[in-house]
Structure 1
């Protein structure tokens, strides 16, 4: 499964201004409202915040990958944010975050969930790709950057 197929321009927050981690997570879940019903949206929110309580999803290199698994959904959903200014996120490297990729999937799909998290991590590990994303000012530019990078990195 391609990462760029999980996001679309309505689930990308470009040049986004936010004050803190909690607001960011709420907004990243909220942009999924067109994809899921109200109950699923709240289940997603609960899963993401519960996972964050266990351990911060700030993975270093100014990136967070909040994620969770949800009983009430049957497929994977994602959102992505590039922040105008970095925020404190309690990351493993103690550095603020300026990008976040949220991934939620069905509770029973452990293998696919881990595979997608791994793919996101590999893509986002590229310094040049993160620099490209940080220069993007619109959701369309970010989506195109993901598409190009994923095709370059993994092929079609």
Structure 2
């Protein structure tokens, strides 16, 4: 399993907004646009419901919002590289600069955990995290995940 099987150039965003709700809505719309059986309204609702339970801001200026729904055909990742700090109510109380949204089928928890693990491996590396935060195009984002 490689992250690049789930993250493509068309699923990398560079939102101008630093508003959490706007970013999540834009990312959910992108997930619907790229396919995988994503109903944008249902997916957006699931993302916001998950976020209401507990912030997906995991620290290190990273958020990993996620939702799994029965109608989604396969896993996908949408990445957002933010141009400024977004308040996210993160665990470490720091603003977020990188957002990785994971969506997928409700019945494949082990696949979800593998994807989450791969993303975590990349973002724990300070050099890769810095490269992602300074990425100016999708190719630079994908390069951070190459070989994983």
- Using the size of structure 2 for normalisation, the TM-score is 0.92
Number of matched residues?
148
Measure the CA separation in 1 of the matches of 2:127 and 2:141: 14
Stretches of structure 2 that go unaligned for 5 or more consecutive residues are none
Output the aligned Cα RMSD.
1.6
Measure the CA separation in 1 of the matches of 2:91 and 2:38: 32
Stretches of structure 1 that go unaligned for 5 or more consecutive residues are none
Measure the CA separation in 1 of the matches of 2:5 and 2:40: 20
Per the alignment, residue 5 of structure 1 pairs with 5
Structure 1 residues 69, 119: closer, same or farther in 2, change over 3 A? same
- Using the size of structure 1 for normalisation, the TM-score is 0.88
Per the alignment, residue 60 of structure 1 pairs with 59
Q: Offset of 1:129 from its aligned partner?
A: 0.5
Residues 72-98 of structure 1 deviation map (CA, whole Å, 9 limit, x = unaligned): 112101100111101100000000000
Kept in 2, the 8 Å contact 1:11–1:31? The answer is yes
Measure the CA separation in 2 of the matches of 1:59 and 1:131: 16
